[in-house]
Amino acid sequence: MTIGFYDMEDIRDCSRESVFKRMEQLVCEMQHPETGVPLRRQKVFLTTIPSAFLAYDLVEWLMDRLNIEETVSVYPLTEAVHLANQLCQHGYFFPVSDSRSLAIKDDGSLYRFQAPYFWPSHHQPDNTDYAIYLLKRSMKNKQKHGLEEYEQEALARLKKLLCHKWDFITLQAEEQVNLSKERKKGDKLILDSQEKSYWRVHRPPPGTPSCLEKTPLASRKVKKKTLEDLRREKALLLKSLNKPRVKPSQIVESLLNHCQEYIEFDSFIVGVLPSNPWISEDPTLWTLNNREVLVPTEQRVKLWAISLEDLLNDPTGIKEFERYLQTEYSHENILFWKAVQSLRRGGKTDIEKKVQAIYNEFLCPNAPCEVNLDSSTIESVQEAMKKPTRYTFDSALLHVYSLMEKDTYPRFLRSEHYRNLLLNSLHPSHKKKFFNFGAGVRKKMVSATGAKRRNNPSHLSGSSVDLTHMSHSLEMEEPSMSSRHSHSTSDLHDLGIPGENLASSRLSSPSSSRDNVPEDNPNTLQVPRLSPGGGDTETSVSVSLTVPCRPTSVVAPWETEG
């Protein structure tokens, strides 16, 4: 792959070399005996490690040398640790004891500088070196130097690949194992850590990113661009410059306007009436919004007023629009639109016959439903009819659509027909609940005989009717009179006129025993009732009755049908 006169592979190698050069320059400054990172003799489990440095000494040196606290305003320590990790993952220094992870933390971990011979810019390993290293580790103590699973698989592959010189590899591995037995314990620890870290950098485990991995770029040579190629590229660039473009702010503004325009008709945002079929099992919404209905909903009719496209996407809207155009004797446009849509969405059979039939009905001279088209559109249609397809009338359809959008559609929205559709449309709403029996938890008391009692008669749902004027007249004529009324009945026209004795008024529906209401309340009416068992015990319940005058007949609301 070429860019101008340069090869992409050469550019990639030059960039890698420049990065290695700057990193190695910084590592050389770290190893300076006076101004570099302080090196000391450290002990690890009674083993002396010469020329080692601590992790936090390295981080502190990077912050002082590169002025990270001044150049980086946020998290200078994090920046220094990140740079130290990059140097370690490139193989310029290695951890002494734990070489499984090449991550540096701001702690007291021990590290040593890698020999310059093994820097990535100086030495590139091959399969033979890796096979000797793996075979040497397999010959040592398996508990301490055992191979991991991916290393065992790599050793098996290398054995097949290098079978022609496997004897030489085995000989080299045995010789290095024998030499390592003669070394001191500290030297063994340093050498093992150095080898493990080196191969962790150059042969990382599967799934571990490697800083030394090359990008997968093609190395094949590409032919240099000719003068004709450059002219073609120039013409393409000039064409793209002249192409109109829309600003992102205008796109965002149009999207916001679109959302504001249609938010009223979004069932998930606004909610649906009378119920949400995605939550409940009520299919009323689907029934009201079928494809073709006799009476559309108000929300559906309002959607037709947004654009002609929304009107034509609704079968009921097309039907009402066509009905309006028939009253104005201009429905040939919508008929032509429907015929072309049927042609475009229909099957492949008899396309030529359908095209000819549409042309004879709408476009030919003296057609029964001739549409108003200009001469250029008619000529393009006649040219397209030489090879009829389902898209033969696209130019005519676009012209007819623009005519409807600019002329007949606005008149439809201003017409009396559309106003009547809005007035007579359905207004679905939630079902009103007149009563809420059992909505709250009522406190009940159990008497000594086991009968349940209500402490507050005002909790009786649906039986509260306030006859204020009657109760005042009853109080004036006969204050001591106690009237009673059962909770489960509505036969109140037996109450009689004020002043009569209402003790004989009996209500037939059974009910449990109730507490007597105090008689000092002038706004209550006490109705006596015999006990269900037929004994002499009477129970009473308080009913608050409110009407402007004495009624002739009062019916309880729970005995009505709605």
Contact 556, 489 (CB under 8 A): yes
Distance from C-alpha of 401 to C-alpha of 312, rounded to nearest angstrom: 10
At which residue do the structure tokens 């749902």 appear?
461
Residue 410's φ and ψ, nearest 5 degrees, are -60, -35
Contact 285, 250 (CB under 8 A): no
Residue 239, CB half-sphere, CA atoms under 13 Å: how many? Answer: 6
Distance from C-alpha of 152 to C-alpha of 231, rounded to nearest angstrom: 57
Nearest Cα residue to 437 out of 460, 456, 458? 460
Q: How does pLDDT run along the chain (562 residues), one tens digit per residue?
A: 333 434 555 555 667 788 888 888 999 999 998 899 999 888 877 788 888 899 889 989 988 888 887 665 567 788 888 888 888 888 888 888 776 778 888 888 889 898 888 888 887 888 999 999 999 888 887 777 788 888 899 999 999 999 999 999 999 989 988 988 888 888 888 888 888 888 888 888 888 878 777 766 555 566 788 999 999 999 999 888 888 787 888 888 888 888 888 888 876 666 666 677 777 777 887 888 888 888 998 888 999 999 999 999 999 999 999 999 999 888 899 999 999 999 988 888 888 899 999 999 999 888 888 898 898 999 999 999 998 999 999 999 999 999 999 999 999 999 999 999 999 988 776 444 333 343 343 333 333 444 333 344 333 333 333 333 333 433 444 444 333 433 333 333 443 444 444 333 333 333 343 444 444 444 444 444 444 444 444 444 444 444 444 444 444 444 444 3
Q: Angle at which helices 375-384 and 394-403 pack, to 10 degrees?
A: 150
Query: Which of helix, strand or coil describes residue 367?
Result: coil
Strands 525-530 and 444-446: unpaired
Distances (CA, A) of 427 to 246, 298, 313, 416: 41, 6, 22, 20
Beta-bridged to residue 528, according to DSSP, are: 540
Nearest Cα residue to 427 out of 271, 288, 286? 288
Distance from C-alpha of 372 to C-alpha of 232, rounded to nearest angstrom: 44
Distance from C-alpha of 503 to C-alpha of 527, rounded to nearest angstrom: 7
- Whether this prediction's pTM lies above 0.75 is answered by no
Q: Quick one: tokens of 268?
A: 């998930």
Distance from C-alpha of 512 to C-alpha of 24, rounded to nearest angstrom: 98
Distance from C-alpha of 147 to C-alpha of 144, rounded to nearest angstrom: 9
Provide the 10 A C-beta neighbour count for residue 130.
18
